[in-house]
Amino acid sequence: QQQVKQSPQSLIVQKGGISIINCAYENTAFDYFPWYQQFPGKGPALLIAIRPDVSEKKEGRFTISFNKSAKQFSLHIMDSQPGDSATYFCAASWNNNDMRFGAGTRLTVKP
C-alpha cells in the first residue's frame, strides 16, 4: 500500500523560478526522508535527505522543509535550471529495508 503521497505528478517551471514538490506520509514511525533525482535511462540518485529532528535542510539550491505534526515534507529547488529537468521521488523509511517511495514528479524547467 502506498504510504507516501507525492504531488504534483508533473511540474513546469521557467528557468530561474522555484520548483516545489510536496509529499505526505502516513506512518509516524518513519524517521528518514530522502529525495531522489532520476534522469531518463539512469537509476535514482540521492539528492538530499532529512531526519525528523530538524525542520529544514539546505544543500546548495535544494531545500527540504519538514513538518512533523502535519506529516508532510517538501522539496524546494531555487533558481531552477534546465539541467534540473528530471523525475523526483520522495521516500520515507523507518528501518533500512522498508523504504517507501512516492509516485514521482516529472519536472520540466523551460529555458
Partner 1 sequence: DAGVIQSPRHEVTEMGQEVTLRCKPISGHNSLFWYRQTMMRGLELLIYFNNNVPIDDSGMPEDRFSAKMPNASFSTLKIQPSEPRDSAVYFCASSFSLSSQDNQPQHFGDGTRLSIL
The binding site for partner 1 (CB under 8 A) comprises 31-32, 34, 36, 41-46, 49, 51, 89, 93-99, 101-104
Kindly report the number of other CB atoms within 10 A of residue 111's CB atom: 8
Q: Tell me how far, at minimum, the Cβ of 87 lies from partner 1, in Å.
A: 10
User: What value, to the nearest 5°, has the Cα angle with vertex 107 and ends 103 and 111?
Assistant: 175
Q: Tell me how far, at minimum, the Cβ of 64 lies from partner 1, in Å.
A: 14
Q: Is residue 59 within 8 Å of residue 49, measured between CB atoms? A: no
Between 17 and 27, name the residue whose CB sits nearer to partner 1. Answer: 27
Kindly report the number of other CB atoms within 10 A of residue 16's CB atom: 11
Between 14 and 95, name the residue whose CB sits nearer to partner 1. Answer: 95
